[in-house]
Structures are given as structure tokens and as C-alpha cells.
A and B are shown apart, each in its own frame.
Chain A
Amino acid sequence: MANPAIELGQRLRAGDRSAAPAALNLIEDRSAAARGQAATLLAEVSPAALGGEAPAHLVGLTGPPGAGKSSLLSALVRAWREAGRTVAVLATDPSSRRSGGSLLGDRARIEHDPGDADVLIRSTAAGARLGGLAAPTRAAAQALAAAYDVVVLETVGVGQSETDVEEVCDTVAVVVQPGSGDTLQFLKAGIMEVPDLLVVTKADLGELAVHAQRDLEQALGSLGRDGVPVLAVSSVPPPQGIGELEQALEAHRAGLDLPARRLRSRRLMALGELVAEHGEAALRGLGGRRAAERMLAEQDPAADVPTLVRGLQERAGLSGPVALA
């Protein structure tokens, strides 16, 4: 009998999107046996196996609660689908620190046709990792990138998640609500350095949205990031600016050195995973972060994240469960 992980990986590689939910179940499974399987699956969709980078556009969508991310995403999903593109959304919600449980409510707010097999929405809990992306979410993005045209990572922005999303995605859009005072907060938190694109929602508010747009442009200018586009959109009927946003996302992607960005992303993920699994001591064992980065730079650029982590573990004389991503 064929190894189910290999089979799932092959199906994704062949663009069989019905394999996605089972692949995600496996990737989220933390048992030792499943992690080995998940690494096998990821190897099947690695650049080495694909013969190049996965074709999907990995889009990060982040911003404070209430900024209008879900409505925006509803409009974007509609636009992408109208253009014939397949879409996967990975929505991350915070977990309760006390119970460990979570309420995954984003799905309800993302309008979509449940009969459309070419839209996948998967909700995940952030888990113990405060405000950031859970390790399985990063791995999930890599796996889905083989089978979907667009993979969106949606997170609630509270500081940490922006940098996490930036590590994984090709293009990061930060969503801002006009009149919320977010701009100042963002400057303070250093978030302004992350986005490839800023989106001001609720453009139907008129003047207020124009102000927000101007504030953001100024803030970006003061950081020397004038090239970052700031777009105003409205998701309520009649929607405004969605087409422009779609084009701006596209334009950013087209201007990227994709292999370089993806390679950097895999190396950062491998480092993050090593630390998450073994602690800072693992880095010291390798002679520090810079030494570890040099070791990664020597690895095959087409290697998947679990392979990179395994390499680092061996060099550091560590064993343990095969890290995911």
C-alpha cells in the first residue's frame, strides 16, 4: 500500500485540492509518528520535488481586530474567484491561555460559496505562541502553495504576528481602519517596516479614510519607505478599490525575486523551528545565530524546511522529533 503521506503530497502536487483537508489534518497532528509523515508530505511539495518554487501567491493579511479584514477578504476572494483563481485561506485566531481552547469565528465572517470546491478556509488556533503563527500554519501554507493559486494567511495583528507573516508570505498587506489611531500605534510598534502594502478600509467613510491614507503615507515617508502603496477600499456595496488592491498585490509579486524571498523564508522558518523545539541552547551549540545562518546558506536551496531543520539538528548533535516547518 502506498504511503498515505506520499500519496497526499503527490495529489497536492498534481493540483488535486480535495487532498487539502486531509493534508492539513496530518500537518496539524503533533504526535511523533504524524510528524514524520508530515515531513514526508512536505518533501513531496518541496521546490526540489516541484522543480521550482510553488506557483501560489502567498499573501499575508494582518491588522488589528475590527479593522475589517474579514469583509475585505470576502471581497478579495470573490474577485479572485471571478478571475478563475483558486484560493485557500488560513485564518488564525488567538487561543485562551487558561483553557487552551479557542473560538474560531473568522470563517463565519468570510463570505463565500460553500459549494465552491476551489475555495478552502481553514481556521487554526494560534496555540501557545502568543500573537504569532503556529508552526503547523507555516507548514500548511507551504503545502497548500502547491495546489492553490492564492494562499492567504489571515492573522490578528498585535505586533508579533506581522513579522511571523512576513517570514512566510510573498506579499504582506496590513489593514488599517480609519480614525482608529492605529497609525501611531504601528509606528511605535515598528510594524510600519513590515508591510509591502497598506490597506485603509471603510473608504465609504470619505474624509476620515482620506486622512488615514495621508497619515500612513507620511509615516511611511518618515521611514524612507515611500514606495509602499497605500490603498483605500470599501467592502460594503458598492465595493470600491478591490480591483486596484488585487492589481497592487499582483504588481508586488511580479516585482519580487521570488526564489530569493522563498529561500530566505524557508531558512528563517528552519531557524525558528529549531529554537521552538530545542531552545536558544541549540543556537549556541551551533556557534550562534550567524553561524547557523551560514550553515543554512550552504544547504540545497530547493530543500524543504524539515530537511533544513534536520541538518541543523545533526550539526548541533541534537535528536528529537522531526520538526515541521
Chain B
Amino acid sequence: MRTYAGHSSAKKSNELYRGNLAKGQTGLSVAFDLPTQTGYDPDHELARGEVGKVGVSIAHRGDMQALLDDIPLDEMNTSMTINATAAWLLALYLTVAEDNGVERAALGGTTQNDIVKEFLSRGTYAFPPEPSMRLIADTIAFTVDEVPRWNPVNICSYHLQEAGATPAQEIAYALSTAVAVLDGVRPRVSEETFPRVFGRISFFVNAGIRFIEEHAKLRAMSRLWEELGRERYRVEHAPLLRMRYGVQVNSLGLTEAQPENNIIRIVLEALAVTLGRDARARAIQLPAWNEALGLPRPWDQQWSLRIQQILAHETDLLDYPDLFAGSTVMDGLVDELADAARAEMAVVAEHGGAVAAVSYMKTQLVQSHRARVGRIERGEQKVIGQNVFCEHEPSPLQEGEDGGILTVNPAVEQQQIEAVRDWRSRRDQGPVDRALEQLRAAAADPDTSVMPATLAAAKAGATTGEWAGALREAFGEYRAPTGVADAAPAPDDNALTELRDRVERVSEALGRRIKILVGKPGLDGHSNGAEQIAVRARDAGMDVVYEGIRLTPARIAATAVQEGVHVVGLSILSGSHAQLIPAVLAELRKAGAEVPVVVGGIIPPADERALCSAGVARVYTPKDFQVTRIMGDIVELVAERYGVAVSAA
């Protein structure tokens, strides 16, 4: 039982962890900020507005020491949500454990270390696919003997569902990823060791509101995993064949409208992963009820922890053998999902495996997500409080001065910037340079593990940005496929046809087709919203410039000018809109682009007012779930700003 936590500085997060442990939490789940996840130091241009925002900023071993201060590491199970820079954060963790006199063999925990889903959904990748997979293989080959209780990789189907995956896609893409990882490690370890490597692979799955089907999904996934182990990898020892998984239940379905309803959704979703003993989760994290509003406060997290405690200690959930053994309904559902997932895995294999199929899978996810958004827009999929039963009383939960969310002190960023500069100036530079040199050499040779050099760099006091920078030099930069260009056109409906007419009329009056730039400033990689807007704008007949994630404000402004767009749409879900949006507006002004700007994201009402007075034309939040309506609104905005008529003459 734990909650995903961490924010601002290492010291602040350490206080939070110790508080949570005192409340009965049994492990740590560390949330890192986006610069740490993507391999940038707090003083890098791209880190602006993101330092300490969605997690803790860890730039070197000193930060890691402060994070883990006074926490008994040999008694902890520490889950680190870290991927592109997993090898590095693991090295920092091992370094601090050694300093504190804890044996590597006594350390237990998980590094998420699943890069494929970062390309598909979450966006915190740093290097191209091939070298990224090699880093994963290096960490696995290292930990299997050196840190035997560590789960070096946690394959995530979680983020696939967040990106719109159907249950069958979720199973298929996660297992295909596992195959790519295992195939990569196989040549790096001995034949006798390999079954243990198989046994160390764990999964991080999602559970949505259709909790019966979701339970079936986990049973189907366990079955296919065992099949893979036996058939593809010749693993025979039964305990090694068991699928081990942790869960964070669905965030995608949590609503901004009537957010108190989310707590009920979370309870039901928790049942999906606990009901039947044969497919029960090993570890559960529950999101907070107010995730769609902003960052959860300690109180919100406590509420989610209590759900688990009530399920475990008050109910009789854990008292029985498997409840679904012999259920024909459950068996039928499991068969159906297993068959569909097998078929989709075969398609991925035909594309050359998970790494080669990233672009294919991404397009499939964009399409599935669009189908889901469309069903909710048309009311075919009911979401209580959002598209049905929308009348409500004022919520006392959101009455407090903070509006029911946590705000991170913006001063943290400056403090971290000064701290990392101070760290660099005070350390002994010689060993750092030598370790980074060793790292570059290891990176250039695919047969040399990067782990020894990474550990040396951690020990010497190198920073996160320096470690990743050395690897970026060796591996090159990379931008993941966006999946939008190949997404099939939307099925026509009346609203869309009517919108196309309006786009056509305004375009004719403007002299050229409405051109929109959809941009994601900063390091936030959650691109679902931006992708859906981009695809719908295309389907509505606009010319759409979409450059994917991780754009600096200067790049967005330069693109807006060079492309001659009529309107700019920005999407931010990391909570850093207050810093980044004004920065984009300033760059646009500097570049002489007089284009209207609209913003979408998790934006509290007070921030919405601030953004509008700073010059933003429209703000859309999760309660604006009707994408076609948003498009119509943007067309009207364009017509108004450029002085052309939107209605038929």
C-alpha cells in the first residue's frame, strides 16, 4: 500500500515520505519531476516551469541522500517511476545505500524502466528506441546478480489505457514490449540465469471502471504471460511463470465535473484488481479524487490510502479462495480477451516487434482514444456528472482557500537552480570528467554495459543532465512518432459535416485554409489531448501543424511565424501553465506574431482568469469534453480576429 508522491525539493519529499510511513504506508513510490525523468538539470532551458512540479527534483547523489534521509532502505520496497534515466537513478540509489551501509542484496524495489510506453503515451523518453532498449538490457543484466531483489523493469500497460487502449490492446502491447525487453537481455546473460530474468519482469497495469471486464483482462494477461514463458522462453519453474503486477487505477476516467464522484470510481476500480485471488495485484496505488483539477494535497492522498486499508482490513475481500474459479462468464470473457490480444500481438510481431512497431501502435492508440472520446461526446458512453446527470449542488470539498488542490511554491525552481550550480562548483571535477569519459566510451560500444560507468559517475558527483547529456551525444536526439498523421479520418457525423462547412467558408474568406499550430510547451509528455485536437482539426478541414511534445516557447513562436498559422493551441497537463503559457505569449510578441492563443489542460479557475488577462483567448479544461464544439469555437475565434463572417451569406 502506497501513494505515488514527491514534489519540490528532496528535503520536502523526505518529510512527506516519513509522514506517509507513519500513517501505515508500507513502501515508497517516488515521483520525479519531468527534468529528472527526461535527463535535464534544473537550470536547463527545457526545465523551465517544471522543476519540482510533478515530482521531486533529483540532480545528483546529494539530492538522493536528502530524499532518503532517515528511511531504513533495507526495510523499504521503493518504487521509482523512472524510465529514460532509470539506470542513472538506480545508480544514485545504490550509491546512497552504500554510503548508509546497506548491502545491495538487501535492497528491494522497482525502477519502471519501460521506454516503449514512453514513446507511445507518457513522453519522458530521452534517447532513440534502440539505445534506450539497450540501457534497459544493461540494467537488467546488472541487477539480476548484483541487486537480486530489485525489479529492474516494470512493463506498463497502465499508460496505454490512459492513451486510449482497449483491454486487448493493453495486454498485447504490454506483452509485446516484454518480449522486446527479454529478447534484448537474452544475449547478455547466461542460459541458467535467464529464467530468473523472466521471473524479475513485473508489470504495472491499469484498471478502468468496467471492473468485471478489467478483472478478466488481468486473468487473460496472466495466462498469456505464462504461455510466453513456457513456449517462447522455455521457463519451467512455476513461481517464475507467475505474472507479478502492481496497479494504479484509471486516471483517464476521472472527471473534473462533480469530482467527488471520482472516489466512488476509484473504489470500484480497486475491486477489479483485488476481487479474484488468482489475478490479484501485488501492489496498489490509488489516484486522488481531484487529479483532474490539479495536484493532490496530502489529505487527498490520505483518503486514497484509506480506501485500500478499508478494503484490506474491514471487508472480507481477502478471506476467500478465488471467487471466479469455475465461472463460465469469467472464463468466456478471459478467452475472448486472450484471443484478441494474441491476434494483436501477432500484428506487432509482423511489424518487427514492439520497438519497430511504435509508430503502428501509436496510431492504433490515437484511433482507439478518438473512438472513446467520440462515444462520450455523443452520449453513447455515459459519464455521470459529465454528459448525463449534470445538475449538482455546490461541493463543500472545493470550498477551501486552496480551491481543493496543491500548489507548488514557484520559488522551488530558483532554489534548485542555485543548488545544482553550487553543487557543480564545489565538487572535485577530475573524477566527474573521467567518469563521463568512461560513460561515452561505454555508450559507443554496444557490447559494453553502461552500468559501471554510470555508477562511477554517480559516485563522482555528476549530475542528471551531465549523465544524460553524455548519452545524448553518443545516441543522438529523438522525437517519437506522433501517431496523428496516419490516424484514419473520423467517421462523418452531422456535427462534423456542419463544422467542415464553417471551416470551408471561413477559409474561403481568409483566402487560405485555416491553419492551426497545436503545441505542447515544456517537458509534459501527456499528449492525448493535443493529439485529439490535432486529428479533429484535420478532420474538420484545417491545416494542422503538430510538432509533438517538448517544445520550448521560442520554438513554438518561431513555428507560428514561419508557418503563418491563424491560431495557436497549447496543451499542458503538468500544472506548469502559469509559467509556460505567459512565456509562449512573450515569445510570440517578440517574434511579431499577432495570433490568438487558446489553451487546454488541467487549469484551475483562478489560473484560467490569470491566463485570460495575460492575453489567452480561450481556456479549455477536462469538462470541455466535446472536441467538435471546441473546434467550432476556435473557428469562430479565427473569424472574429481576422474580421471575416462565419455564417453563410
Please list the residues of chain A having a beta carbon within 8 angstroms of any beta carbon in chain B: 20-22, 24-25, 28-31, 34, 93, 96, 98-105, 107-109, 111, 114-115, 120-123, 125, 236-237
Contacts and interface: CB of A to CB of B under 8 A. Distances in A.
A99 B540 contact: yes
A102 B546 contact: no
A103 B535 contact: yes
A121 B558 CA distance: 10
A134 B347 CA distance: 36
B534 A100 contact: no
Interface residues of B, number: 41
B513 A99 contact: no
Given A34-B511, A114-B555, A125-B543, A109 B485 contact: no
Contact of A105 (B474, B485, B537, B539): B485
Contact of B512 (A30, A93, A115): A30
Contacts, number: 100
Nearest to A120: B562
A96 B489 contact: yes
B564 A101 contact: no
A160 B554 CA distance: 37
B512 A101 contact: no
A125 B477 contact: no
Contacts of A108: 479, 482, 546-548
Given A105-B485, A108-B547, 20 more contacts: A24-B564, A96-B539, A99-B489, A99-B540, A100-B500, A101-B503, A101-B540, A103-B485, A103-B534, A103-B535, A103-B544, A104-B545, A104-B563, A105-B482, A107-B559, A108-B546, A122-B562, A122-B563, A123-B563, A237-B476
A237 B474 contact: yes
A158 to B, nearest CB: 15
A122 B548 CA distance: 16
Contacts of B206: none
A102 B538 contact: yes
Contacts of B504: 100
A203 to B, nearest CB: 15
Contact of B544 (A22, A101, A114): A101
Contacts of A111: 477
A104 B543 contact: yes
A22 B591 CA distance: 13
Interface of B: 128, 474-477, 479, 482, 484-485, 489, 492, 500, 503-504, 510-513, 534-535, 537-548, 552, 554-555, 558-559, 561-564
A123 B546 CA distance: 11
15 contacts: A21-B564, A22-B564, A25-B564, A96-B539, A99-B541, A100-B504, A100-B541, A101-B542, A105-B482, A105-B547, A107-B545, A107-B559, A108-B547, A115-B558, A120-B562
Contact of A30 (B511, B535, B543): B511
Nearest to A99: B541
A101 B544 CA distance: 8
A109 B479 contact: yes
Contacts of A236: 128, 476
A10 B482 CA distance: 39
A31 B642 CA distance: 15
Contact of B511 (A20, A22, A29): A29
A31 B476 CA distance: 44
A115 B554 contact: yes
A31 B500 CA distance: 20
A237 B472 CA distance: 10
A114 B511 contact: no
